[in-house]
Amino acid sequence: MCAIMGFSKKTVSKEDIPAYFDRTLSRGPDMSRIIETKSGYLCFHRLAIMGLTEAGMQPFELEGDYVVCNGEIYGFRPLKRQLSEKYEFKSGSDCEILLPLFHEYGLSMFSRLDAEFAMIIYDSITDSLIAARDPIGIRPLFYGYDHDGAIVFASEAKNLIGLCDEVCPFPPGHYYAFGKFVRYADLTTVKAYSHDDLETTCRNIRNKLIAGVDKRLDADAPLGFLLSGGLDSSLVCAISSVVLGKKIRTFAVGMDKDAIDLKYAREVADFIGADHTEVYMTRQQVLDSLEEVIALLGTWDITTIRASMGMYLCCKAIHEQTDIRVLLTGEISDELFGYKYTDFAPSAAAFQAESKKRVDELYMYDVLRADRCISANSIEARVPFGDLDFVKYVMSIDPAMKLNTYHMGKYLLRHAFEKDHLLPDDILWRQKAAFSDAVGHSMVDDLKAYAEETYSDEEFNSLRRKYDYCMPFTKESLLYREIFETYYPGQATMVKDFWMPNKNWAGCNVSDPSARVLSNYGESGV
């Protein structure tokens, strides 16, 4: 996990850059560097994960070209061996292969990468910046135009506040070159569905997820695992334990009085023989951290903020109490296999359209949450369910097979690992509970109560009308928006909308994003 920034022109002085760039110093506290190009600057804050020596410090340079990259390039070693016939490498960093790839393949290099990344290349021949972001947007990148019209790229929106009038998320699966954004990858548009039968489909799901986990275990820095006790994170932990063949370190978080998932996380940890740590949080800690969390997230979305409270406080404890530098997480499974509310999908086509929408927008919601909560604590996030080969395959499965006709959400994923016995049966077949609820129902209730105490009905009706874009519709959403506007004034359009179930579906026209309000919640989160 690192922070990058690039200026296409020298419209600010080199001495003024740290005032903006150092806002994301937590992303890369190990070393920092700002270099001048002919017309602009490239900036890098490093968190050393691969190639821990100073030789791995960026920007990397090759024949006058430079690159800064926040990313992990999977399978870089065979690529490096191939490129070594022509290029000399000086470090163990995976990102050192990027400029040789650029010299060999030009702009087509991005579609060749099995990686999660945000990068900026300085092309010395054209004296211009080229920027690109991975197909899902797991690594963050933003851009804006400064007061002189120069484009500026940065890891986080906060780097650009006060520098650019409008801050925009860099679209995933795109590169920027010569004044244009070009889409180089589209994982979610399926032209032809797979004809694999159920058992073949599940076998492929199993094998591809194991491969996705395996490649994300490659790190020169200490690894840890977030374990909620739900299906997704439990599978990641169990697979990792087997692949590594040793005791792994797992971490779970919950409220001090009604932590629903801690008992399940403990059951999984005991079953796989993990070195397990429980982190408890209190109502006061949640309320005291709220403003800080919204400031680091750069969002006003209700679901994202609720789910970030536990994740942030857990990662804060990991940062303060351990040497962990990399955390594997279970994000992106829901978007692929379904939420509680997608049980109400009226058709297979509707399910597929909803899945496409959710994966396409991940960079504004769950992926954003995982990145910010983890990187704010100087740790790198890795997301096996976001493996490109895995995502492409699951999106290509006949959506009729993914519909919940099995009386159990995510049946394909569960069945895929049924014979391995990596998890206790009661965990593998446990109904899903949303993370923000499962840390303890009281947390969301506490946040709602705090918002109720903050605004009278009259204040709510008056203040919310200040916002034409995505007007707050509850006191809780107003509270979050007001805090957001303090740190990101006028930048609400960075987020497309409130994350909510599809209100056009019967059973989903609800006024709160929590799955607790759905009629099929049942025993979830119990």
Q: What residues does each domain of the chain span?
A: 3-183, 198-508
Residue whose pair of structure tokens reads 């200040």 in the numeric block: 466
First to last CA, the chain: 35
3-state SS track over 393-410: HHHHCCHHHHCCCCCCCC
Q: Which CATH number fits domain 3-183: 3.40.50.170, 3.60.20.10, 1.10.150.530, 3.40.50.2020?
A: 3.60.20.10
Please identify which of the residues 2, 69, 237, 314 carries the catalytic annotation: 2
Specify the pLDDT at position 81.
Answer: 97
276, β-bridge pairs: 250
Output the CA–CA distances (angstroms, integers) from residue 220 to 32, 46, 60, 93, 274, in the order listed.
20, 14, 19, 10, 20
254, β-bridge pairs: 280
> Is beta strand 174-177 parallel, antiparallel or unpaired with respect to 41-46?
unpaired
Amino acid at residue number 27: R
Specify the pLDDT at position 439.
Answer: 84
Task: Tell me whether the CATH fold assigned to 3-183 matches the one assigned to 198-508.
Answer: no
Residues 96, 395: Cα–Cα separation, whole Å:
32
Specify the pLDDT at position 440.
Answer: 76
Residue whose pair of structure tokens reads 């490649």 in the numeric block: 215
2 noted as active-site residue: yes
What is the overall mean pLDDT for the chain? 95
DSSP 8-state assignment for residue 146: B
Amino acid at residue number 3: A
Yes or no: say if 158 and 172 are a contact pair by the CB < 8 Å rule. Answer: no
180, β-bridge pairs: 177
CATH number for region 198-508: 3.40.50.620
Yes or no: say if 328 and 384 are a contact pair by the CB < 8 Å rule. Answer: yes
Q: Note down pLDDT in tens along the chain; length 526 residues.
A: 799 999 999 999 999 999 999 999 999 999 999 999 999 999 999 988 887 889 999 999 999 999 999 999 999 999 999 999 999 999 999 999 999 999 999 999 999 999 999 999 999 999 999 999 999 999 999 999 999 999 999 999 999 999 999 999 999 999 999 999 999 999 999 999 999 999 999 999 999 999 999 999 998 889 999 999 999 999 999 999 999 999 999 999 999 988 888 999 999 999 999 999 999 999 999 999 999 999 999 999 999 999 999 999 999 999 999 999 999 999 999 999 999 999 999 999 999 999 999 999 999 999 999 999 999 999 999 999 999 999 999 999 999 999 999 989 999 999 999 999 999 999 999 987 666 676 877 899 999 999 999 999 999 999 999 999 999 999 999 999 999 999 999 999 999 999 999 999 999 999 999 888 898 886 655 5
Cα–chain center distance at 127: 32
Regarding pTM above 0.75, the answer is yes
